[in-house]
Chain A
């Protein structure tokens, strides 16, 4: 504990700044891509490519995105060093730092003070959620999934829909998972947008109150767009029919010659 503390003290500034940096890059940038990709279940419906129905276009576009990610060489290394370790680092230090404060929105209910408190609350909840999310979908801890469905990257949309429903049909536990996803994704998007705002103060990029306010509008815009993407993802997966989605994914896989081919050519 003592050596631990002195290590923290000796490298105090570096650790603080690494905590800030990892929040934006890689974690924040990843969140940006992750939610945009997942929202393809919805924006894919607008895709003019292959697919007779909106559902087919959504499922196929999302599957193509997942196929692309799974074609990444050394994916596990990228995940471990680009995501899991930075997230673990940001989480551990975040909890350590958050525990030094005592929220006081009762006496001082200012907007920025509420964000201070919510930043910490969303951090705590976000850690639990990310752990659950990665453990169930990536590490295959299906005992934590109502219905026990395992996420399969070849059946990306249909298995995700099952996980959010608790099976092919809605169950109460599945609805709870969906609700938790909705709340936790919202919390994490807030955490990123607000963190983007505070990081500019931390590093000294925005100094004047005016600059801080204007950067706040930018962060709010990024947050709002990302919030829409997050909601589209959760609601999109929760509302598609897993059975129909699975049929589309089977046809998609059959139509795929090799890994290089992403989507079948548009019909003439």
Chain B
């Protein structure tokens, strides 16, 4: 019936209202509560713009004056990972979560919660220190620091670049950890070295082991991945690859590092150096 009409001309209601339920928490260890806000939304609005409106008008739908909600965000284009939160029960970035998709009709409700695997600092803001700690466990970097110029690095084949490029798009957002049944909250930093390291760190270990200079640390990375909390702790639920916003083949990385630690283990068993 829309013969010749471009789909872009689909009429959008100019101004409508939705309800946003936010899990509030005043600080670390404080009790959580839900607060609902009635928010007018423009076409094309995202969760961040809705949060900004609520912060400017911090009155609940019951007319109660409250504090402006706190959240974390940075790039607003789904490359920094800072604004990751649980939206309608699923983890994702709030900047790329559009209201028109999540709450298309007048009066629809959107529920916002902080990630559950990291300690809540306040409201929707969490402390992701453990995520970065786990990257340090596998030395997820290329060792180039030294007292003299080491010259240019080795050339990389386009094939290898292709594999590594996808892995390098990881933005440490934490989606894979939030959705992982094997990555559980661990408030004690002393236990972080033996609790499950997570898909992101396993994939980054693969990225840097594939790098010709990065692989100088390959043995240390494989030692870390062989030990407690390493790649063996993966339970193959494969939620990580489903929720990864960058479509990183995390389960392939896990299997690849599984193979690497198998060979590493066999070599170590027979006393062969890598």
Contact = CB atoms under 8 A, between A and B. Distances in A.
Say if A and B assemble together. yes
A203 B239 contact: no
A208 B90 CA distance: 26
A100 B182 contact: yes
Given A108-B242, A201-B254, A101 B181 contact: yes
Interface stretch (B37-45, B62-70, B143-151, B258-266): B258-266
Contacts of B96: none
Interface in B222-270: 226-228, 230, 232-239, 241-243, 249, 251-252, 254-263, 265
Nearest to A211: B255
Q: Helix, strand, loop or mixed for chain A's interface?
A: helix
Given A100-B233, A104-B179, A209-B249, A13 B256 contact: no
Interface string B178-207: 010110100000000010100000000000
Interface in A71-130: 97, 100-104, 107-108, 110, 112-113, 115-117, 119
A9 B262 CA distance: 17
Contacts of B255: 201, 204, 206-207, 212
B262 A112 contact: no
Contacts of A12: 226-228, 230, 232
A112 B252 contact: no
Interface residues of B, number: 37
Contact of A108 (B179, B226, B252): B179
Nearest to B196: A100
A112 to B, nearest CB: 4
A204 B259 contact: yes
B107 interface: no
Interface string A186-202: 00000000000110011
B258 to A, nearest CB: 4
Nearest to A8: B228
B28 interface: no
A112 B233 contact: no
A49 interface: no
A192 to B, nearest CB: 15
